[in-house]
């Protein structure tokens, strides 16, 4: 049962929620996908709280539900996955964020969540001096006529997975294997290409997480990952134990 609201719109009681932030570093896509799916089921069963996964992937092509042809034979691994949209390319230097969030418990819809995820990217890019905007048609974060971030979300039993990929220092050649999101590969850009220099991914990651948490009204609080480490470790092995960022964020609903 949801808490009653006072006349001012403030909750009459406080419900504390945590959103774990898991930084997995550089991952193979299949391994990270297994982690996502395990955490998805755990979140659906209320075994864990909301979770934001951060990673960079080794080179890979993924195709969403919008791609209906046979998967092509390419020189990098190819996955057909549950998110919306068509094809996109991941590689090192690109920050990928996967929110595993219960949208019902957060009192939001999928469109609002997408808007907030894009808004966090826009905010972090702004701190680099890059003016961008989130758009729904076609969906993504854009710098003028160039796309700097691709986004595809799936929802099962109120819980989201998959997410946003933001081009920072990554090379863009891999997009030429496909028509990213049904567009020409030349549509894609990166922070490095716009600024003419590499950017500090660690600093960008911090800015993105801060903006994301602010958009959901989370307050930062350090904690352990004991409550979810069993589920993650079984999927991710030693890398999970060594690479997970042991941070979490608490908010008052």
Number of domains in the chain: 1
Question: Exposed e or buried b for every residue in 175-201, given b needs 16+ CB within 10 A?
Answer: bebbebbeeeeebbbbbbbbeeeebeb
Query: CA–CA separation, 53 vs 251, rounded Å?
Result: 18
Each residue of 85-98: pLDDT tens digit?
Answer: 778 899 999 999 99
Say which CATH number the domain at 57 has: 3.30.930.10
32 HSE (CA, 13 A, CB side): 30
Q: What pLDDT score was predicted for residue 215? A: 92
Q: Choosing from 19, 32, 49, 181, which is the catalytic residue?
A: 181
Which residues are CB-neighbours of 141 under 8 A, at least 6 positions away? Answer: 118, 121, 122, 125, 132, 133, 134, 135, 147, 148, 149, 151, 164, 166
Q: What pLDDT score was predicted for residue 121? A: 98
* Beta bridge partners of residue 159, listed in sequence order: 102, 156
Query: CA–CA separation, 253 vs 242, rounded Å?
Result: 32
Q: What pLDDT score was predicted for residue 18? A: 77
Q: What backbone phi and psi angles, to 5 degrees, belong to 111?
A: -65, -40
Q: What pLDDT score was predicted for residue 45? A: 95
- Asked whether residue 208 is domain-assigned, the answer is yes
- Asked whether residue 11 is domain-assigned, the answer is no
- Asked whether residue 82 is domain-assigned, the answer is yes
Range of the domain at 215: 16-252
Query: CA–CA separation, 171 vs 156, rounded Å?
Result: 33
Assess whether 181 carries a catalytic annotation. yes
- Asked whether residue 1 is domain-assigned, the answer is no
- Asked whether residue 135 is domain-assigned, the answer is yes
**Class of residue 34 by CB neighbours under 10 A (exposed 0-12, middle 13-18, buried 19+):** middle
- Asked whether residue 4 is domain-assigned, the answer is no
Query: CA–CA separation, 97 vs 108, rounded Å?
Result: 19
Segments of the chain with pLDDT less than 70? 1-17, 67-68, 180-183, 219-253
- Of the candidates 72, 11, 54, 1, the one whose C-alpha atom is nearest the C-alpha of residue 251 is 11
State yes or no: cis peptide before 138, omega within 30 of 0.
yes
Give the rounded percent of residues in the chain with a pLDDT score beyond 90. 59
- Asked whether residue 7 is domain-assigned, the answer is no
> Distances from the Cα of 179 to the Cαs of 30, 121, 184, 189, in angstroms?
22, 23, 5, 14
Q: What pLDDT score was predicted for residue 5? A: 34
Q: What backbone phi and psi angles, to 5 degrees, belong to 162?
A: 65, -175
Q: What pLDDT score was predicted for residue 67? A: 67
- Asked whether residue 215 is domain-assigned, the answer is yes
């Amino acid at each position: 049962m949801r808490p009653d609201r006072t006349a001012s719109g403030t909750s009459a009681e406080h419900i504390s929620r945590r959103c774990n932030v898991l930084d997995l570093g550089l991952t193979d896509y299949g391994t990270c996908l297994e982690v996502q799916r395990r955490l998805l089921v755990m979140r659906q069963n209320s075994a864990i709280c909301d979770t934001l996964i951060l990673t960079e992937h080794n080179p890979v092509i993924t195709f969403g539900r919008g791609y209906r042809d046979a998967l092509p034979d390419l020189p990098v691994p190819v996955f057909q996955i549950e998110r919306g949209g068509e094809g996109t390319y991941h590689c090192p230097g690109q920050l990928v964020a996967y929110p595993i969030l219960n949208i019902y418990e957060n009192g939001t819809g999928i469109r609002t969540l997408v808007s907030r995820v894009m808004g966090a990217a826009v905010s972090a890019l702004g701190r680099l001096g890059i003016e961008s905007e989130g758009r729904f048609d076609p969906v993504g974060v854009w710098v003028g006529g160039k796309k700097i971030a691709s986004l595809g979300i799936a929802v099962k039993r109120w819980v989201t997975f998959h997410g946003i990929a933001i081009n920072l220092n990554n090379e863009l050649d891999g997009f030429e294997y496909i028509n990213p999101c049904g567009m020409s590969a030349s549509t894609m850009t990166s922070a490095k290409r716009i600024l003419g220099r590499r950017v500090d991914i660690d600093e960008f990651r911090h800015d993105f997480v801060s903006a994301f948490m602010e958009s959901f009204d989370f307050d930062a609080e350090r904690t352990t990952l004991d409550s979810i480490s069993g589920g993650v470790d079984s999927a991710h092995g030693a890398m999970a134990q060594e690479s997970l960022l042991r941070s979490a964020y608490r908010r008052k609903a």
